[in-house]
Amino acid sequence: MQLTMLKSKIHRATVTDSNVDYEGSIAIDASVMEAAGINEFEQVQVYNIANGNRFTTYAIAAERGTGTISVKGAAAHLAKKGDCVIIACYAMLEEAEARGHKPALVYVDAHNALKMVSSGITGHRL
């Protein structure tokens, strides 16, 4: 049996731009994508903390070190500059592999610069 597991997430990133006049995707600072293990053109889920919108798109690399999180195409109607978002990526794993799986959890500051990369949820309490 295969399970869908969180591969990685970028937690509480700030949208720096939204542009409806584009084919569609989300541009992410290449250094943040790399820290999260997200490949260019890989499917991602975006959860907008500001308004509750959730959407699926694909990642494209923005210039490294710029802090860019730019929502493009039709998805630009769902997130605007200044919105706080979580960008999540999932992988299909065999059940045995899933038991030991640890996702890459990337935390950024208000300018989308890397603060921390972890494999465990911070603040998680039993």
Dist. CA 114–CA 13, nearest whole Å: 10
Max Cα separation, the chain?
45
Angle at the Cα of 57 (from 51 to 62), degrees rounded to 5? 95
Look at residue 6 and give its three-state secondary structure. Answer: strand
Among the listed residues 8, 25, 31, 70, the single catalytic one is 25
Dihedral, CA atoms, 87, 85, 24, 74, nearest 10 degrees? Answer: 140
> Is 25 among the catalytic positions?
yes
Our answer to whether residue 58 is catalytic in this structure is yes
Using CA atoms, how far apart are residues 96 and 84, in angstroms rounded to an integer? Answer: 35
Nearest to 41 by CA among 26, 22, 60: 60
Catalytic residue, chosen from 58, 90, 118, 119, is: 58
Catalytic residue annotation:
25, 58
